[in-house]
Amino acid sequence: MTADLFSNDPHIPATLELGRDAVLLRGFALAVVPQLFQGIEQAALAAPWRHMETPGGRRMGVATTNAGALGWVSDRRGYRYEACDPATGRPWLPLPEAFAALAGRAAAAAGQGGFAPDACLINRYAPGTRLSLHQDRDEQDLAAPIVSVSLGLPATFLWGGHARGNAVHRVPLAHGDVVVWGGEDRLRFHGVAPVAQGTHALTGPWRVNLTLRKAG
């Protein structure tokens, strides 16, 4: 069951509360987009985009890379964080300062100051790609919030409850939007609806998402 949390009304607030400890910050990343893309390019050079495999053997729809002291990986062994890229044995790109600074500012703006991420999962979505409902629970520090940055093509964020069967709200996300969730909302189910066809001036036919976490 899904419901629109709000429509694409030009008068929607710049900050929207999604829950007691969850906030959408519209356009919050726009001022640092060039620095973010520089970091993304460097991360993809250090650890090229790849479609990881689920523990069940399925190819993931999103292409991924990582930056930070820890990187999220998935294969037949399961979901986990690793200090080195399993494909090369080399450490991931150190977390770019622009990533860490944006995440800290966004968390503070959402009332969750002091956030210092050590991992950034970078996902690239082609049109038609989706991310099924899931919880982020592979991190050792579940007290720290999650900061998610949307770049490129627009998307619909699926915002659920604490059980998979709870109602799911559809939240439109645009280039530069940042979602922060933690506290009592930290383990909510969430996902991304299939990305619509389109072209963005900076990303072309892609949506790129940065998910910053305190993993270790």
| CATH code: domain of residue 178 | 2.60.120.590
> How far apart are alpha carbons 187 and 181 in whole angstroms?
9
What does the pLDDT read at residue 75?
94
Contact 153, 209 (CB under 8 A): no
Interval 52-75 mean pLDDT: 96
Contacts (Cβ under 8 Å, ≥6 apart) of 58: none
The pair of structure tokens assigned to 192 is 């991304």
Expressed as residue numbers, the domain containing 26 is: 2-213
Domain count, the chain: 1
Contact 47, 113 (CB under 8 A): no
pLDDT at 141: 87
**Calpha distance 129→126 (Å, rounded):** 6
What is the percentage of the chain residues whose pLDDT exceeds 70?
A: 94
Residue 104, sorted as left (phi over 0), alpha (psi -120 to 50) or beta, turns out to be alpha
Query: Which of 22, 25, 66, 18 lies closest to 42, judged by CA?
Result: 66
Mean pLDDT computed over every residue of the chain: 94
Reported confidence tier of residue 4, pLDDT bands at 50, 70, 90: low
* Nearest-angstrom CA–CA distance, 112 and 22: 10
pLDDT tier at 10, thresholds 50, 70, 90 = very low
Tens of pLDDT, residue by residue over 115-162, are: 999 999 999 999 999 999 999 999 998 999 999 999 999 999 999 999
pLDDT digits (tens, 9 = 90+) for 98-127: 999 999 999 999 999 999 999 999 999 999
**Residue 80 pLDDT greater than 50, yes or no:** yes
Cα(186)–Cα(193) distance, integer angstroms: 20
d(CA 129, CA 207): 10
Say how far apart CA 176 and CA 31 lie, in whole Å.
Answer: 9
Residues near 186 by beta carbon (within 8 Å), at least 6 away in sequence:
21, 136, 142, 143, 145, 146
- Predicted local confidence at residue 2, as pLDDT: 55
